[in-house]
Amino acid sequence: MNEREKLDALLAKIEAANIAYHEHDAPEITDAKYDALRREAEAILAEHPEWREDASALAQVGGKPASGFRKIIHRTPMLSLDNVFDEEEFVEFIARIRRFLGLKDEALVFVAEPKMDGLSISLTYEHRKFARAATRGDGTEGEDVTANILTFRSLPKILPNDAPDFIEIRGEVYMTKDDFLALNSSQERQFANPRNAAAGSLRQLDPAVTAKRKLSLFAYAQGEASTLVAKTHWDYLEALKRWGFQVNPLSRLVNEDGTEAFQAEMGAGRAALPYDIDGVVYKVNDIALQNRLGFVGRAPRWAVAWKFPAERASTVLEDIEIQVGRTGALTPRARLRPVNVGGVLVTYATLHNEDEIARKDLRIGDIVELQRAGDVIPQILGVLKRGEHTRPFKFPDHCPVCGSLAVRVDDDVVRRCTGGLTCPAQVVERLIHFCSRGALDIEGMGEKTVREFHDAGLLRGAPDIFTLPRHQAEIAQREGWGEVSAAKLSAAIAARRAIGLARFIYALGIRRIGENNAKLLARHYSSYANWKEAMLAAQIIGSDARLELGSISGIGPAIAQDLLAFFAEEHNLATLAQLEAEVRVQDEEAATAIDSPLAGKVMVFTGTLSMARPEAKARAEALGAKVTEAVSKKTDYVVVGEDAGSKAKKAAELGIKIITEQEFRDLAGL
């Protein structure tokens, strides 16, 4: 037997023992024998770490990973859904689809499914056998919870022959209301709601704990699959049921005009359901249409979550506190007498800005009405009853942290600290942002550590992060640290010396440049050098670079202004120069990795095409092209439809390649 065969034999024995122990409650071998099998398997894996992927049996109960969960990259990213809150917004969602597809009279059919309030999970089956399970994580990479999911009795371990050889099945892990109440009454630790209880129970390093908690799973979507399962989402759900998955029995096929009635029905029935739902998800049934519609940012165009109206409660406004964010914004927040809103204990609410406090005439001591919609921080709707001893709130005109003047520029609703990088609050918030998950994602550099190092004088700005390893010995001496944790931190920092462009842009913490906008910029400019050069060139009004920036879809004028403002600041350029010496910013892959004749090409569409314009644009972008409005020297192709006008003329003058819609379709393989 070679090493691989030996490993497989060991894994088979371990798996059998796991099943006997956990599923049948009837151990077949002694603990000592079980441990010996595991040790042998681990010894082989130490020589061949590349086989670890296949060793899911080892991750099972009893096999506690040394620290944290292993990461799993989703083959197809796990996306989120856009929300709508009323009929008007829902109607707009449908109208957008119709416009995108250029539909005339054809009615759209949707599958309506209750929106489960749990946590999403991706189950991977290889060769029709359950291989692993991962949480959503950041959508690209989740945590390996295979061992925990294996404790679910109802999980199909093997799929029948009509299932694809490889498939990622997505669904929601949830806890019923009864199981949640029983769990809370059985232990001291109290979960705020069934969703938190489900998440806390699944993300257990010891799967034995998960096994004791009652969790359930509804399957509702697919990720990557080696072959097409069905032509419609409804048939896909039917297949899931045949394969043994639980599919929410309330799911229904509805016509465009049946959606409102379904929404009302679910809203009325929700309280009586055994589990929490917070809305209804509507998905275009026809999968070919889904594919044409595609995605925008992190959400599909073909689905939406129509949320139920928010839950409300009233309580006393105890105080108004001011927080200073990384862009210097002074944000008020309300501290409340704790109150339960739809199952969640609320102590803080957002107040947005000072005008809102004035508009609502909020005074400390008032009884206020608040509402909570889904995940968002609760909002104060207004004063219900003036308290007996209230005092008005005066919004500070100085930064509560650094004492600098705080001003409102032009018609900005936000008051900002003028201290800039001399304001410790801003510096710290920027540093926290820089190290955070969507940014550099430096393990071990959470909020607490950043504050600690900042207070100790080890960190003044982002570039200092990379000098921390030089202070490793000093860090090891600090209270709560040690040789091991200091070394780990150095390693985590070293691991981030190469970083993707989108993450890097996001990490800079430029106003209004969140993860999505950072991605848009990264895809458009593809390399750091390109981006920086363009941002500097765009400082000049009327320059090609500024026009180009203005033409990136999704980047509006306000965002462009903030970007230019960032590059206009000397100290930001100095920080960039320092960072350049420390990190290698990698080119954005998405734009270049796509193997298509349109990858990296700059395109302009003009005139009337047979395909609706939004679809043409989305198709081109999906193939790696950048679609802009204006024709410039950088344009590679101008696609002309009927009655094309000035743009076609300009293209001809500049000698840019002009192609017909058919030629575009050929290039795009449509």
**Interacting residues toward ligand IVH by CB under 6 A:** 79-81, 113, 115-116, 120, 136, 172, 220-221, 281, 300, 303, 305
Nearest approach in angstroms of CB 441 to ligand IVH is 20
Residue type for 591, please? A
At 130 the three-state DSSP class reads strand
We find the least distance from the C-beta atom of residue 123 to ligand IVH, in angstroms, to be 13
Minimum CB distance to ligand IVH smaller for 59 or for 116? 116
Q: How far is CA 475 from the centre of its chain?
A: 33
In the complex, minimum distance from the CB of residue 220 to ligand IVH, in angstroms, rounded to a whole number: 4
Cβ at position 550, least distance to ligand IVH in Å: 31
Sign of the Cα pseudo-torsion (627, 633, 638, 640, in order):
positive
The distance of closest approach from Cβ of residue 314 to ligand IVH in the complex, given in angstroms and rounded to an integer, is 28
Do the beta carbons of residue 127 and residue 135 sit within 8 Å?
no
User: CA-to-CA distance for 73 and 141, rounded, in angstroms?
Assistant: 4
- The catalytic residue among 6, 104, 115, 650 is 115
Q: Which residue's CB comes closest to ligand IVH? A: 120
Question: How far is residue 108's CA from residue 163's CA, in Å, rounded to a whole number?
Answer: 28
Taking Cα atoms as reference points, which of 557, 528, 526 lies closest to residue 541?
557
Cβ(462)–Cβ(581) below 8 Å = no
For residues 49 and 6, what is the distance between their CA atoms, to the nearest angstrom? 15
Sequence-ordered strand ranges (E) for 127-265: 129-135, 141-143, 166-174, 216-225, 252-255
Least Å from the CB of residue 212 to ligand IVH: 24
d(CA 234, CA 248): 12
* DSSP strands (E only) in 243-307: 252-255, 277-284, 295-296, 299-300, 303-307
CB of 86 to ligand IVH, least distance (A): 17
Judged by beta carbon, residue 64 or residue 437, the one nearer ligand IVH is 437
Q: Would you say 237 or 535 has its CB closer to ligand IVH?
A: 237
Pair of tokens at residue 557: 């004028």
Nearest Cα neighbor of 620 from 551, 669, 547 is 669
Beta-strand pair 657-660/637-640 = parallel
Q: Please give the Cα distance from 670 to 100 (Å, whole number).
A: 16
Which lies closer to ligand IVH via its Cβ, residue 252 or residue 398? 252
Q: Which is nearer to ligand IVH, 128 or 195 (by Cβ)?
A: 195
Which tokens sit at 538? 């765009």
Q: How far is the CB of 374 from ligand IVH (least distance, A)?
A: 8
Q: Is 175 left (phi over 0), alpha (psi -120 to 50) or beta?
A: beta
Residue closer to ligand IVH by CB (options 78, 518) is 78
DSSP 107: P
Give 220 or 434: the residue with its C-beta nearer to ligand IVH. 220
* Long-range CB contacts (within 8 A, 24+) of 656-661: 656/631, 661/609, 661/610, 661/611
Residues in the chain: 670
Which token pair is 492?
């985590």
Nearer to ligand IVH, 115 or 132 (CB): 115
Q: Please give the single-letter amino acid code of residue 633.
A: K
Measured from the CB atom, is 195 or 511 closer to ligand IVH?
195
Return the structure tokens found at 30.
């002694």
In the complex, least distance from residue 222 CB atom to ligand IVH, rounded to whole angstroms: 9
Instruction: State yes or no: is 115 an active-site residue.
Output: yes
Q: How far is the CB of 300 from ligand IVH (least distance, A)?
A: 5
- Per-residue DSSP letter, 6: H
- Report, in Å, the least distance between residue 284 CB and ligand IVH: 11
3-state SS track over 309-334: CCEEEEEEEEEEEEEECCCCEEEEEE
Rounded Cα distance, 303 and 597, in Å: 30
Judge contact between 466 and 583, C-beta under 8 A: yes
The residue (of 139 and 607) whose beta carbon lies closer to ligand IVH is 139
- Residue closer to ligand IVH by CB (options 144, 278) is 278
Q: Which is nearer to ligand IVH, 133 or 638 (CB)?
A: 133
Dist CA 396 CA 434 (whole Å): 28
- At which residue do the structure tokens 């609410």 appear? 349
Distance CA 398, CA 404 (A): 6
The answer to whether 194 and 176 are in contact (CB under 8 A) is: yes
Residues of 268-284 as b/e, b for ≥16 C-beta within 10 angstroms?
eebeeeebbbbbbbbbb
| DSSP line for 503-528 | HHHHHTT-TT--HHHHHHHHHHH-SH
- Smallest gap from Cβ 627 to ligand IVH, in A, equals 23
Largest CA distance in the chain: 84
Positions marked catalytic: 115
